Amino acid sequence: MIGRPRVHHALTDSTNERAKELAASGAVNGTLVTADEQSAGRGRQGREWVAPARSAVLMSVLLREFDALLPLRAAVAAAETCGSEEIKWPNDVWLGGRKVAGILVEGRPAEGWAVLGIGVNVVAVEFPAGLDAVALDDGRSVDAVLQALLVSLDRWLGADDVLRAWRERDALKGRGVSWGEGSGTAAGIDDSGALLVDTASGRTALQAGEVHLTL
Ligand code: BTN
């Protein structure tokens, strides 16, 4: 069961950091760390994740059983929780073309653990200028969204049909994308979760973590 035991912090630097400490000290699979506020919340590719206190789900769960599709599984669970039909590869969840939830997976697969960090904007706030973000603002409390997310994670972390569910929400398919070395048209994902892109020189597969994608 994902979410037990649960450690809650009023303020911490990053729930992913706390969960990694717990991983090193032998905490059990499913241990959950939450916070009202983070002073150094982190996003993918060195970005920061900023949310005013009690405006967002800020959670990290320690997993000792997972597979290579974990980032996509988490995206489907977060999208389901948010009522979103839009996932931007690999795991940004959008509502109406703006980001409502983000996912940061860190860990040591060789040591048999991963920390799955998820942030969901719940309460409407003034987002920093230039940040294309949106909040759920659907009347649910932060804790209600967290509980729904845990139920979805329980389902999708072990589901056989996660690639189908992810593909149904593929927000990039058919859109132009570019990255450091190239550009092309997004053409879905392969069964490993790599992004397929049709370029002038043929089809290529991009691995998450290796490329920074621009739309
Ligand atoms: C991204 O969109 O780039 C990923 C954002 C992940 C944010 C969450 S909030 C809870 C957990 N703790 C962190 O420091 N980051 C993740």
Helix pair 70-82, 142-156: axis angle to 10 deg:
140
On the question of pLDDT at 172 being above 90, the answer is: yes
- When mean pLDDT is compared across 13-17, 92-96, 128-132, 171-175, the lowest value belongs to 128-132
On the question of pLDDT at 206 being above 80, the answer is: yes
Domain with CATH 3.30.930.10 in the chain: 6-167
**How many angstroms is it from 43 CA to the middle of ligand 1?**
5
pLDDT of residue 11: 98
CA dihedral for 71, 72, 73, 78, sign (positive or negative): positive
Are 26 and 55 within 8 A, CB to CB?
Answer: no
Q: Which of the listed CATH numbers 3.10.450.50, 3.50.50.60, 3.60.40.10, 3.30.930.10 matches domain 6-167?
A: 3.30.930.10
pLDDT of residue 211: 76
pLDDT of residue 185: 97
For ligand 1, atom 10, which residue shows the shortest CA distance?
58
For ligand 1, atom 3, which residue shows the shortest CA distance?
43
Are 116 and 105 within 8 A, CB to CB?
Answer: yes
**How many angstroms is it from 51 CA to the middle of ligand 1?**
10
Atom of ligand 1 minimally distant from the CA of 41: 14
For ligand 1, atom 16, which residue shows the shortest CA distance?
117
Mutate to test the pocket of ligand 1, among 118, 120, 142, 146 (most ligand atoms within 8 A of CB): 118
Residues 6+ apart with CB under 8 A from 30: 1, 2, 3, 4, 61, 62, 63
Q: Pocket residues for ligand 1 (CB within 6 Å)?
A: 14-16, 38, 41-44, 47, 49, 58-60, 92, 102-104, 117-119
Confidence at 210, pLDDT banded by 50, 70, 90 = confident
Q: How far is CA 158 from CA 98, 101, 119, in A?
A: 28, 21, 21
Average pLDDT for the chain: 96
CA dihedral for 116, 121, 127, 129, sign (positive or negative): positive
On the question of pLDDT at 137 being above 90, the answer is: yes
On the question of pLDDT at 128 being above 90, the answer is: no
**How many angstroms is it from 55 CA to the middle of ligand 1?**
14
Query: Across residues 172-199, what is the average pLDDT?
Result: 96
Confidence at 115, pLDDT banded by 50, 70, 90 = very high
**How many angstroms is it from 56 CA to the middle of ligand 1?**
11
Beta bridge partners of 113: 108
Query: Across residues 188-199, what is the average pLDDT?
Result: 97
On the question of pLDDT at 21 being above 80, the answer is: yes
Atom of ligand 1 minimally distant from the CA of 56: 9
